[in-house]
A = this chain, B = another copy of it.
């Protein structure tokens, strides 16, 4: 996939975000929010389902794979529904179909995509065109903008006050991201060297960081490295998956900063006792002192995303298998 560095400027993006937020704020009734996408974009929706699920008092929220969403055919997709969609290229057929499906039922549709001229953008009522590729700002990537919109919805429709703190945190990403990456560069290289022959690497997290663990498992490891993986929910670990734990079974376990940290910590405590191949990444080390305490938990996934990418880059290097290689995707019709 060719990555272009031509993207929408930040002023335009701010305008698009403000328009979408205002449309949702002014909407007669918003009873529910559906967050829908596929693969890595679906993973980026999951922290927002957590944010809404843990903070909303009235609105219900669900995150669904786009094909699952459309095929279910729920009667609850209507004029009281906001459907937030994301597709990087804006061409993912299932996500485009989900936008058409939702819009035909009167839902308010908001699409996030890199390409504002894509089919997804065409199919959706509101579009926020995030930046991607060389020269992008870390404040204008997809996950950061989705989180800003959701914080705005919580403020506007639920009387919360998250948007300012989230906006402030996102504005700091251009310095937070390189700092977090640099802090993990050596550890990533060491881990990647030690892991270069592993046929399988599990990931584990809970709460707002589960989506990042899921993304790393299905996109970075399975898709881009052909390494077997599964994202294990830390709360589920003790009810089945922990029995595969052994001294030589590799795990990447995330310790976040949201309300589910104790759930993750309990799993990490067990894992590190019985596996010698556990990599634990703790968001407490992400230098988030400048981020308001009440949103550090939900902001952490934005840093986990980029820090884990450093580990993936290092793994690709030591395995001699570039992250861009595919055997099926983009090579055939399916």
Contacts and interface: CB of A to CB of B under 8 A. Distances in A.
Interface string A38-67: 111010000000100111111010100111
Nearest to A270: B334
Contacts of A236: 38-39, 42, 65, 218
A241 interface: yes
Given A66-B235, A243-B224, A32 B54 contact: no
Nearest to A233: B65
A239 B39 contact: yes
A46 B214 CA distance: 18
A56 B60 CA distance: 14
B243 A329 contact: yes
A310 interface: no
A90 interface: no
Interface residues of A, number: 66
Contact of A32 (B60, B229, B326): B60
A262 B260 CA distance: 36
Contacts of A274: 328
Interface string A241-273: 111110000000000000110110010001000
Copies of this chain, count: 2
Given A62-B53, A223-B240, A328 B245 contact: yes
30 contacts: A38-B236, A39-B238, A39-B240, A50-B72, A53-B74, A54-B74, A55-B75, A56-B75, A56-B76, A57-B75, A57-B76, A60-B60, A67-B235, A68-B233, A68-B260, A71-B235, A72-B260, A92-B239, A222-B241, A222-B244, A223-B241, A226-B243, A226-B244, A227-B244, A229-B230, A238-B329, A238-B334, A243-B326, A243-B327, A243-B328
A144 to B, nearest CB: 21
A138 interface: no
A24 interface: no
A13 interface: no
A59 to B, nearest CB: 9
A300 interface: no
Nearest to A49: B62
